[in-house]
Chains A and B, each alone.
Chain A
Amino acid sequence: MNLNFLYNFGRYLVLLRTALSRPEKFSMYWKETMRQMNDIGVGSLVIVCLISVFIGAVTAVQFAYQLQDSFVPSYYIGYIVRDSTIIELAPTITCLVLAGKVGSNIAAESGGMRQKEHIDAMEIMGVNTAAYLIMPKLIAALFVIPLLVCTAAVVSIGGGYLSSVPTGWITDAEYIRGVRSFFEPYYVFMMFVKAIVFAFILTTVPAYQGYYVRGGSIELGQASTQAVVYSDILILLADYLIAILLTV
């Protein structure tokens, strides 16, 4: 078990090192990066927005309920929705969802290419397949996923508004006052750190799983599932570590 873990971890690092070498043809990598940005970014926008609306809405409702009979001013709802989504909910939940959507897709795509000998065919041509298959995805993700997370945070705050203002919990002015109170730019920095680290995990781990897949369709399915499970675990672990490192 332990040896197996070390073997995979070592091979993962070696693959990453190979993936980060000089492209043989810049224009081909550029084209592929643009395609990936479109796939990851545009392709995930709807689901990310949908989830974010609900995250914001639920957070607002729950806090409104808890604050009901307390002496905490009700405009705090806006403040709490803003901070909890920026610090934790937007980056973590968005990236857990993206690990499922983007991650499984990456694992299945590269795994399929391995099994259908596409990777071998490229190797024979002289292509550095680790670089060509991983680098564009990684660059695209590192660029696009923080933007998605940012969008998620904004939409969540909108979701909080939708669930607490029209329903009469608090007034429009109170919610906005809450959203504008006690703002800490440092939290936005934390959000971006998390988004970047999570984006790295949810592209490289599935890419590794797919790149070294063996066997047939059952193994491909397993690789895709494992890619998501491992990415999720690593994202949560990284979340915890970042929380500790950036708050003490």
Chain B
Amino acid sequence: MIRIESIRKSFDEVEVLKGVSASFEQGKTNLIIGKSGAGKTVMLKILVGLLRPTAGDIWYDQTNFGQLDKRQLRELRMDVGMLFQGSALFDSMTVEENVRFPLDMFTNKTAKEKLDRVNYCLERVNLEGVNRKYPSETSGGMQKRIGIARSIVLEPKYLFCDEPNSGLDPTTALLIDELIVDITRENNITTVINTHDMNSVMEIGDNIILLHLGELTWTGNKDEVLESDNQVLQDFIFASPFLQRLRRAALSSSGE
């Protein structure tokens, strides 16, 4: 479980996060949602320590994240996997080398063991026979999946995904969502996902926090989204008139 307490972050006088407290539970998919520019990526980068908060505390289970020194931080990070918004695959390495990189760097496994693990992870994300390709020779959706394979190769306890399905068609997006849910449940890890995709919210939102203008405006799960009368949430999820009609229809039919 990860807990954050009154996280603040400013960039040159502009306050992007204004004191956000929340907790992200183990074995569940925790969603951070909000409009573009709401501060989701900043929040995620603070959670993993790529940015320092201006104020506030982060707890990884019993560990106070802010008080770790560089060595301890690197040790904790062996338990952390992250999928970047742009995948961040190393483009001078093949797919196999990308996924194998953490194993090469941190384990003493034999070449055979590493290959088995790499192949297992690639299979896990439904990618086979791409080992020798370079990331530039694969599609955007494949890159996301390679990114996921690379982030789970060391069996992390904490998984962070920044917009795992942005820019993908609805079917592929759904596939990736399901994949992340499965991995989370199977290994009982703490997963935090940034998204502004309402399909994801309604499908995989075990625990949702909504950021708006740098503040936490709503928390709940996917089943509570429909009933909530929080205006910001409704404007965000049911953004189009079509979706608003759908919501009204759903509410009236469940009310009968």
Interface positions of A (Cβ within 8 A of B)? 18, 24-25, 27-28, 116-118, 120-121, 123-128
Contact = CB atoms under 8 A, between A and B. Distances in A.
A217 to B, nearest CB: 15
B33 interface: no
Contact of A116 (B75, B81, B88): B88
Interface residues of B, number: 22
Given A25-B106, A125-B102, A126-B106, A120 B77 contact: no
Interface string B69-99: 0100011111011101010101100000000
B104 A121 contact: no
Given A116-B86, A117-B86, A118-B88, A123 B104 contact: no
Given A25-B106, A120-B84, A126 B90 contact: no
A24 B106 CA distance: 7
Contact of B105 (A25, A118, A120, A123): A25
Given A117-B86, A117-B88, A118-B88, A125 B101 contact: yes
Given A117-B86, A120-B88, A128-B74, A28 B105 contact: yes
Contacts of A127: 74, 105
B222 to A, nearest CB: 28
Contacts of B84: 117, 120-121
Contacts of B78: 125-126
Contacts of B102: 125
B50 interface: yes
A164 B76 CA distance: 66
For the complex of A and B, the 6 pairs showing the least CB-CB separation, nearest first, are: A126-B77, A121-B88, A117-B88, A126-B74, A124-B82, A126-B78
Nearest to A120: B50
B193 interface: no
User: In the complex, which of the residues A24, A25, A126 has the most CB atoms of chain B within 10 Å of its own CB atom?
Assistant: A126
Contact of A24 (B81, B105, B154): B105
25 contacts: A24-B105, A25-B104, A28-B105, A116-B86, A116-B88, A117-B86, A118-B88, A121-B82, A121-B90, A123-B50, A124-B48, A124-B50, A124-B80, A124-B82, A125-B78, A125-B101, A125-B102, A125-B105, A125-B154, A126-B77, A126-B80, A126-B105, A126-B106, A127-B74, A127-B105
Contacts of B154: 125
User: In the complex, which of the residues A24, A28, A123, A128 has the most CB atoms of chain B within 10 Å of its own CB atom?
Assistant: A123
A27 B103 CA distance: 12
Contacts of B80: 124, 126
B104 A28 contact: yes
A127 B86 CA distance: 20
A62 to B, nearest CB: 45
A124 B77 contact: yes
